[in-house]
Amino acid sequence: MTADELAKRQAIIDACRRMNALGINQGTSGNISVRHGDGLLITPTSLPYDTMTPDQIVFMAMDGSHPPGQKPSSEWRFHLDILKARADVNAVVHAHPTYCTILAIMGMEIPPVHYMIAAAGGDSIRCAPYATFGTVELSAHAVRALDGRLACLLDHHGMIALGQTLDKAMWLAVEVETLARQYHGCLQIGKPPLLSSAEIERVRQRMAGYGLSEG
Ligand code: 13P
């Protein structure tokens, strides 16, 4: 194993532990993948993050094949399909954050209640329809809900965040849970006023240059 591959495997384990420490996931209900060579590295199914070791991370080829002795995450199908469909993305984070999941159970998307929604690529964070975990149907729903976006909710399930890097996908996962929490809070008071699609587009373009210019 090259040093680069070992570092990627360790980074996946570190991100899993961080997800739980941050409170955006519980137990082993999340899973993470990162593009690697002509395939991806993905968390194994149902192994506790605390004791997970780099050799337990599974390398999966783009045809879904993997070493016979290893069991990839039960959600390998959507990780694979997303990385196939999205050349702009190299990391997929799936978790069951409480506020995202509350909205998803109610079949609600997150509307533009805060300008930070633009970080997920558009003026809403869609909620993919329900399908049983690990199925081709769930994967198809997720890929569609993520079209042109970097995050979506999964009805009666949780959330997916994407990134060019694992750090970016993790940052977005935390941000999406924050947005879900803010929206949930607003709903306790009433119907929140929304930002316009034009304003979210302006923010999106501004964010693209954020940190790159003096503007
Ligand atoms: P794994 O432990 O198989 O990754 O899956 C749990 C899960 O998130 C199902 O949605």
Taking CA atoms only, the protein residue closest to ligand 1 atom 7 is: 29
Mean pLDDT to the nearest integer, 118-146: 98
- Which residue from 40, 66, 80, 94 has its CB within 8 A of the most atoms of ligand 1, so it is best to mutate? 94
In a domain, 56, yes or no: yes
Q: What is the pTM of this model?
A: 0.96
Q: 47 CA to middle of ligand 1, Å?
A: 10
Mean pLDDT to the nearest integer, 91-116: 98
- Which residue from 33, 46, 51, 159 has its CB within 8 A of the most atoms of ligand 1, so it is best to mutate? 46
**Residue 177 is a catalytic residue:** no
Q: 53 CA to middle of ligand 1, Å?
A: 17
- Catalytic residue selected from 5, 75, 137, 199: 75
Percentage of the chain with pLDDT > 70? 98
pLDDT at 209: 81
In a domain, 215, yes or no: no
| Coil/strand/helix, residue 108 | coil
In a domain, 94, yes or no: yes
Whether the per-residue pLDDT at 215 is higher than 80: the answer is: no
Confidence band for 91, pLDDT divided at 50, 70 and 90: very high
| Coil/strand/helix, residue 8 | helix
In a domain, 168, yes or no: yes
Range of the domain at 165: 3-208
In a domain, 77, yes or no: yes
Q: Give the helix ranges, DSSP H, for 2-153.
A: 3-21, 76-85, 98-105, 136-145
Q: What is the CATH number of the domain that holds 119?
A: 3.40.225.10
pLDDT at 24: 95
Q: For 212, which DSSP code?
A: T
Retrieve residue 35's tokens.
Answer: 């593009």
pLDDT at 212: 61
Q: How many domains does the chain have?
A: 1
pLDDT at 213: 53
d(CA 168, CA 83): 15
Virtual CA dihedral for 63, 67, 69, 75, nearest 10 degrees?
-40
d(CA 45, CA 73): 4
pLDDT at 214: 47
* Each residue's pLDDT tens digit, 54-74: 999 999 999 999 999 999 999
Q: For 204, which DSSP code?
A: H
* Each residue's pLDDT tens digit, 146-202: 999 999 999 999 999 999 999 999 999 999 999 999 999 999 999 999 999 999 999
| CA neighbor of 174 nearest in space, from 102, 108, 105, 116 | 116
* Each residue's pLDDT tens digit, 14-36: 999 999 999 999 999 999 999 99
